[in-house]
């Protein structure tokens, strides 16, 4: 296992901040006991988080000092006399209550800071995972494109150009027919998306008869169609969604001879 990759995965931060689930916690504790660098990373993040909270902790609010001075002001204005012990205990109790209120305010502030830190970390973790997922999708698309280009440039691929029929001259589609496996692929050079409720369907003309070669639904780039052992030409028609057992000749879009 790549320990550094595991450490940088965010699991340690999730564990320290209380965001990890039971399975993640069990795995991390096992890794901590097995790998000293994992244990060190946990201690390092805990120390860094503690230092951050200490650095950001505010001083006691000025209102605490003001309240305490207001409470004791009458005593400061009187001549100095020896006070009974119970009187000083009363003032000490008042000061303790004021300090307790200040302590509670500070604890509430720190609690809110920790929760805010957790929220920011969770948002960053979600963003990181989103970027990683987008990158994987991009890499997959790039790999598919590379594979398609290699396939199209394979000398064993027979290339069949299918220009648009009369009235649809702007359309162009290419069939790539593997002379070894007889697999058929279609690349839509210039064809608009099929209207709602309709699909483009590829036909192979075999011995003068149309043979269904597949429907081009949800297909972009180089589309794999059905295996066709032999054909004299290929054509594409516009059919109702899902395809048709026979071609609708009035909806012929493009065609080309092998």
Give 84-140 pLDDT, tens digit per residue. Answer: 444 444 555 555 555 555 565 556 666 666 667 767 767 777 776 776 666 665 565
- Per-residue confidence (pLDDT) for residue 231, from 0 to 100: 95
Helices (H), the chain: 3-7, 11-16, 22-34, 36-56, 62-76, 85-152
pLDDT-derived band at 2, boundaries 50, 70, 90: confident
Residue carrying the six token digits 């493009």:
254
pTM, whole model, 2 decimals?
A: 0.47
Q: Could you report the per-residue pLDDT of 47-79, keeping only the tens digit for each?
A: 776 666 555 555 555 655 565 566 556 655 555
Choosing among 3.40.50, 2.40.50, 2.60.40, 1.10.3470, the CATH entry for 157-257 is 2.60.40
Summarised one tens digit per residue, pLDDT across range 180-220 is 999 999 988 788 889 999 999 999 999 999 999 999 887 76
Please compute the mean of the pLDDT values over residues 16-33 and round it to a whole number.
85
Q: What is the pLDDT of residue 84?
A: 46
**Whether residue 163 has pLDDT greater than 60:** yes
The residue ranges of every structural domain in the chain are 157-257
Q: Measured between alpha carbons, how far is 258 from 247 in angstroms, rounded to an integer?
A: 19
Classify residue 250 by its DSSP letter: G
Summarised one tens digit per residue, pLDDT across range 210-239 is 999 999 887 766 888 999 999 999 999 999
Is the CA virtual torsion 116, 118, 120, 123 positive or negative? Answer: negative
Q: Which residue has the higher pLDDT, 176 or 83?
A: 176
228: how many CB neighbours lie within 10 A of its CB?
21
Q: What pLDDT was estimated at residue 82?
A: 44
CA angle 48, 50, 56 (to 5 degrees): 100
What's the confidence (pLDDT) of residue 89? 46
């Amino acid at each position: 296992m790549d320990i550094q990759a595991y450490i940088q995965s965010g699991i340690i931060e999730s564990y320290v901040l209380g965001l990890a689930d039971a399975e993640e916690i069990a795995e991390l504790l096992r890794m901590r006991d097995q790998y000293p660098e994992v244990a060190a990373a946990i201690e390092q993040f805990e120390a860094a988080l503690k230092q951050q909270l200490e650095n950001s902790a505010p001083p006691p609010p000025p209102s605490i000092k003001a309240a305490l001075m207001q409470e004791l002001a009458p005593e400061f204005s009187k001549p100095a006399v020896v006070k009974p012990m119970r009187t000083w205990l009363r003032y000490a109790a008042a000061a303790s209550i004021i300090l307790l209120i200040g302590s509670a305010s500070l604890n509430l502030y720190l609690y809110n800071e920790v929760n805010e830190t957790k929220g920011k970390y969770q948002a960053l973790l979600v963003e990181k995972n989103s970027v990683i997922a987008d990158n994987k999708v991009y890499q997959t698309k790039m790999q598919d494109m590379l594979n398609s280009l290699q396939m199209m440039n394979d000398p064993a691929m027979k290339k069949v150009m299918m220009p648009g029929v009369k009235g649809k001259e702007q359309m162009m589609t290419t069939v790539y027919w593997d002379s070894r496996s007889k697999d058929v692929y279609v690349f839509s050079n210039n064809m608009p998306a099929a209207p709602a409720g309709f699909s483009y369907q590829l036909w192979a003309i075999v011995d003068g008869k149309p043979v269904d070669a597949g429907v081009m639904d949800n297909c972009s780039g180089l589309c794999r169609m059905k295996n066709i052992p032999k054909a004299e030409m290929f054509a594409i028609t516009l059919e109702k969604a899902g395809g048709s057992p026979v071609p609708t000749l009035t909806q012929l879009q493009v065609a080309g001879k092998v």
